[in-house]
Amino acid sequence: MEKNEIKLIVLDVDGVLTDGKLLIGSDGVEYKSFHVKDGMGISLARFHGIKIAMITGRKSESVHIRAKELRVDFLYEGITNKEEVLDEIVTTLNISLQNVFYMGDDINDLPVIKLVGFSAAPKDAADIVKRSVSFVSHFNGGNGAVREAIEIVLSYQVDYDVLVEKYLNETIRMTQ
């Protein structure tokens, strides 16, 4: 990966930002568990100027809420053709697919994984996906895998420690 290459991070949701379990209450409401470390990684990437997108095959109010909390730039739910959506996003941003990092966990993610400049998968992703990506996390989906991959991307582009220091200084300044 070349310096300053990644301009867009695209994430699958179920099995990447969550552990992949679907908790559906008797009232039909779907519940998901997100890891705060993944959220901090997304916040650091956004602070560095990287755009964030979530593309998922399911629709869930909890995903919508989490995306809003993290100020995700693009959220697409109920998507069967992730390639088409990715093409729309890169066209909107006027960037190359080589400037995209994608993280997915299952076979429906393979078409996008094969298109982008850098790809990753959680430790518990499908074997065929793990064989196809640039990086396999040491963590399972929903347990910090996104954070680890984002830290790698950021470390290639900037001095990570300096970025964290700037982030903390800006956060402290904004709260005063």
Burial of 80 per CB tally in 10 Å (0-12, 13-18, 19+): exposed
Dist. CA 56–CA 34, nearest whole Å:
14
CA 121 centroid distance within chain: 10
* 105 marked as binding residue: yes
Distances (CA, A) of 106 to 44, 65, 81, 97, 110: 26, 24, 14, 20, 7
> Which residues have CB under 8 Å from 76's CB, separation 6+?
53, 54, 55, 56, 85
Dist. CA 88–CA 71, nearest whole Å:
19
Instruction: Tally Cβ neighbours within 10 Å of residue 101.
Output: 25
* 12 marked as binding residue: yes
Dist. CA 144–CA 111, nearest whole Å:
24
Annotated binding site for substrate: 14
Residue numbers in the known binding site are 12, 14, 105
Binding residue positions for Mg(2+): 12, 105
